[in-house]
Copies of this chain bind each other. A is one copy, B any other.
Amino acid sequence: MNLQAALFLLLSLTSALCNSNVNEALTYSDKNVNRIDEDLLQLAAIPSISSLPEHAKDIIAASQWLIDHLKSSGLENVQLLPTNAQPSVYAEWLKADGAPTVLVYGHYDVQPVDPLQLWNTPPFEPTVDRKKDMLFRGRGVSDDKGGLLQPIHAVEAFLKTSKQLPVNVKFLLEGQEEIGSPNLAELLHENAGLLKADIALSADGGQISAEHSGIALGLRGGIAFEVEAQTVDVDLHSGMKGGSVQNPIHALAQFVDNLHAPNGSVNVEGFYRGVRERTEEDKADAAAFPFDEAAEMASLGAMGPHGEEGFTTLERRWLRPTLDVVGIWGGFTGTGIKTIVPSKATAKISCRLVPDQDPVAILEALRAHTEGHAPPQTKLTFRKLPFHAQPYLMPRNTMANRAATKVLKGLFKGPFYYREGGSIPALALMKEHLGIWCTSFGFGLSTDNLHSPNERYMITMWDKGREAWIRLLQEISTEAALENASDAAKDEL
């Protein structure tokens, strides 16, 4: 028997043993499903909104809940990693000798909830109903409290049954993803030793639909800023002065309107610098992706797609940088009418960026554009807002992607390889500071109302996620062993 044959025999024996561990963990997870559901309800009840200073204490409460929960799940070295703002939570289990080390990423902060009156149930009184609608409801149940609990529950299921994990695991759960992770780079840099791993897995992400799975190879980056237009010192009487001085709302509308060219492209010099040309593989991925555009537009209440000419809807989301005004205000916004010429108006703007745009350069291009395009008799003030994410694009064929593909194939159609329109700054930062690629492995859906009222999480996806994470930890171990065996065989041949 040569070395190659011996290695494959060993792998088979190991595999049988591992399958038994996986099955025990799955059984444990199913038996404890009511308590596992309850964990999500408890964590989602904490209003850990990172963008609103008045919720700072809830950020702390959520991080403390996680620390307690990670400890009772059997994880070790559980600790808070402080930053200048919201802290991250760390935990580890490192007793799988010879197996790879996996860094699991997630975030425990959530989006704001306004407009509150549009919620059908109170956002921080989460509910679950396994009998009728099969939904969790509440802010954060999908993004990302539901997501981050799945790998924790998977680890618990192994440690409470076979007392061991197939791989070494480290958790990094951050509290400022929804505000663009402003302190994460520093945290990764300072804790690079503690966080050292072979691969990363993100528990913040989603599948394509309840039937179709996918592996997101890329994410858009982003930046944000606000522009304030001021024309006079105080609000004026619209009768006495109207029509004879510049109106800052008119000026801001003109500025905003001119940010896009008639063909839908962003009309700012330097904005497209670095954007990669669309490849044949990009086009093929977009064409293969299961997507019913008409059905989606109908579900959004949109009259139809709208965007940059010459690109399909998926290409616009995956491959093209975009600019959106996310909020605008100025003048009198109460009931009835107040006949004024207001003194100022403000717009908050966010951009989504793609490889290889440089967020810093794009922000400067927008600052220069703002400074150079003030409407007549108008003072425009540019202010950076705290959102900064590098665009991200990983290779297709990594060990983690192969393992994830195997797991997803067993539970869904697919997986399809695609890109996400959203931003998870952590992925690019982990590549930069820890040198590892990150595979997204989450089970939210685009219909979960992630940043909108009435956020929800489908119980079928939550249950598949519970199973998938248990299987994934094992598959990574198997893939790593295969890779080692293959490398060893190559060495011998």
Contacts and interface: CB of A to CB of B under 8 A. Distances in A.
Interface of A: 51-53, 111-112, 114, 118, 179-180, 219-220, 222, 224, 231-247, 249-250, 252-254, 256-260, 297, 300-308, 313, 316-317, 320-343, 345, 347-348, 350, 352, 376-379, 385-387, 420-423, 446, 449-454
Contacts of A313: 244
A327 B332 contact: yes
Contacts of A334: 51-52, 112, 114, 327
Contacts of A422: 237, 239-240
10 contacts: A51-B337, A52-B334, A112-B338, A234-B301, A238-B352, A243-B320, A250-B256, A306-B376, A327-B331, A333-B348
Given A118-B234, A236-B300, A452-B236, A242 B336 contact: no
B378 A232 contact: no
A453 B305 CA distance: 44
B348 A331 contact: yes
A112 B334 CA distance: 10
Given A238-B350, A451-B340, A256 B246 contact: no
Contacts of A323: 243
Contacts of A53: 335
A377 B333 contact: no
A457 B482 CA distance: 87
Nearest to A379: B303
A311 to B, nearest CB: 9
Contact of A316 (B244, B260, B454): B244
Contacts of A348: 331-333, 337
Number of copies: 2
A118 B342 CA distance: 13
A257 B347 CA distance: 15
B421 A240 contact: yes
A249 B339 contact: no
B420 A239 contact: yes
Given A239-B422, A240-B317, 19 more contacts: A114-B334, A180-B337, A222-B339, A231-B302, A235-B453, A236-B452, A238-B322, A239-B420, A243-B307, A243-B421, A247-B324, A247-B325, A253-B257, A305-B377, A306-B376, A327-B331, A329-B329, A339-B350, A339-B451
Nearest to A115: B235
A350 to B, nearest CB: 5
A326 B331 contact: yes
A246 B451 contact: no
Nearest to A351: B242
A378 B320 contact: no
Contact of A51 (B180, B306, B336): B336
A324 B253 contact: no
B249 A347 contact: yes
A238 B423 CA distance: 10
Contact of A239 (B236, B337, B423): B423
Nearest to A301: B233
Contact of A377 (B238, B302, B423): B302
Contacts of A342: 326-327
A266 to B, nearest CB: 9
A326 B238 contact: yes
A440 B328 CA distance: 39
